A and B are shown apart, each in its own frame.
Chain A
Amino acid sequence: MKNNLLIVIPAYNEEKTIGSVIKGIRNVAQTSDIIVINDGSSDRTESAAKDAGAFVVNLPFNLGYGAALQTGFKYAIRHGYKYAIQMDGDGQHSPSSLMSLIKEVEKNNTDVVIGSRFLGGNSYNAPALRKIGMKIFSIITNFITGQKFTDPTSGYRAMNDSILRFYSNDIYPVDYPDADVIIMLHQAGFRIMEIPVDMNPSLTGKSMHSGLKPIYYLFKMMLSIFVTLLREPISFTTSPHRGEGKGEG
């Protein structure tokens, strides 16, 4: 029987953690398909992922986190998957929450579900500066969407195929897709939900936010949110809740 669910893991130089992440997923979801998008890594990420039994797509050069993720979404659409989960390859996202994430989407309670590191009494210790940034974006996102998001920057999400089609479009940001994507989804009329997920405190790998990047991140996210609001409510929505306009995105 063909699998409905594809687990997408973008990886950039994650040879140390990617293998254990895949094995961890296999422990809770034995038969699920796992695709690792190797985003031009210079280390042995590819063979580590292959050895652990994942399907690996190698990008010819480094495209960035969002573009790598989008590659996985495009693959999912091409191969007719109904659901997808995105998670990081650094081992921060615990596979134990996989099932609870996908359950919500499978039950059709929502189009996309975001795994929050703060909901349900979870304590996630981020550096102070990053905590402030997260708080700011959570306030902005809540204000615009009128919905409460505790962790809009989380990269641990599950979604159905109408979201996958939406994400395969050129509007999907190539770098740091998080709070702005939530607002985009909200504008397009999709249903978004947040549930608590577990974190692996022992396996906190390197962050993609280092050096001058936080400043760029802050600027990019502000601008991205701002122009998203300026745009017409996106017309190419493929959400089933707006009639049967399932056009090619």
Chain B
Amino acid sequence: MKFVLKIFKSVKPNFEEGGKFKTFLPLYEAMENFCFAPSTTTQLAPFARDPLDVKRFMTMVIIALVPALAMSYYFFGARLIAMIIVSYAAGGMVEVLFACVRKEPIAEGFLVTGMLFPMILPPTLPLPILAIGVIFGVLIGKELFGGTGRNVFNPAIVGRCFLALAYPKAMSGNFTTAGTEIPGRMLEYIHAGNAAAHDAISTATPLVLAKQGEMVNTVDMLIGNTSGSISETSAIAIILGGVFLLLTRIANWRTVVSILAAAFVTAAVIYNTDTTRFAPPMWHMCAGGLLFGAFFMATDPVSSPITNAGKWIYGIMIGVVTMLIRNFTGYVEGVMFAILLGNIIAPILDEIVFKIRIGRLKSEG
């Protein structure tokens, strides 16, 4: 470690006032903070009782993602790592650019966005498309609004919706079957370049098959042994990470509970109107990105409502819209659109809650 520290110390003057690379100070600070705890401490009051800063907040989310990441590495292979690297590189570039121009330190928010984004994409999506998606998401969804904490939409969701609309073919055709034998696909690197070999192992996702009247076993989807977006297939791994987030109170339980409950009830109502055409509610709970979206995407504290009552309504809306889009539109997956709509409606929900509370206070005199 001393060796690394030495390097940081030796290059630091270049980045300080008057140095050669003064513009890139944020980049230096980010690298230093990433490797070491910052040496600066608070000297004067007020002191926070819980040092839950953005850095620890984001680290918790990354820890919660580990089970899902491990499962997807097992099922879909080493390409996951390439996707994560490209996502961090492309999105990080935008982040560094803006931080240098704004002369602000790089916020840790991108650590999560850059990790979440490849996890909700098809396993063999061409890497340039992935890069375009993450750049669009970070630029339009976050940086134009002032960066972490000031955005109104979830950047990963903006990028995902953009890709779904801009590259519909690539986004619906690159699903591989999951590896089943003991090494899984852990030793393989599957990409779409070799078309013939790729066709042999590619398949439609459970949601697409359901529209054609073919049901994938719910147990398979619970474990994750199906095709799908790279980290969305394993329900158990997602629930494991999600419960960790709820216990540490990083994610708000109200959002998660209301999304899942509303989706379940809506799916049950739709299922009972025509049991031959629609899938049962339990199946829908495990299929596609519903769980991943509910635990990791919709709970984003910046783009979801800040009031508790608002969070309930926000969650209910996302759950209902997801099921409506899944069952009645041309899209097979509706979670990302539902969450984006939820982000859009969030400020209005907060406003209504405030109005009602102020009205109640006034009437109490």
Q: Do A and B come from one complex?
A: no
Q: B residues within 8 Å of A by Cβ?
A: none
User: Which chain A residues have a beta carbon within 8 Å of chain B's beta carbons?
Assistant: none
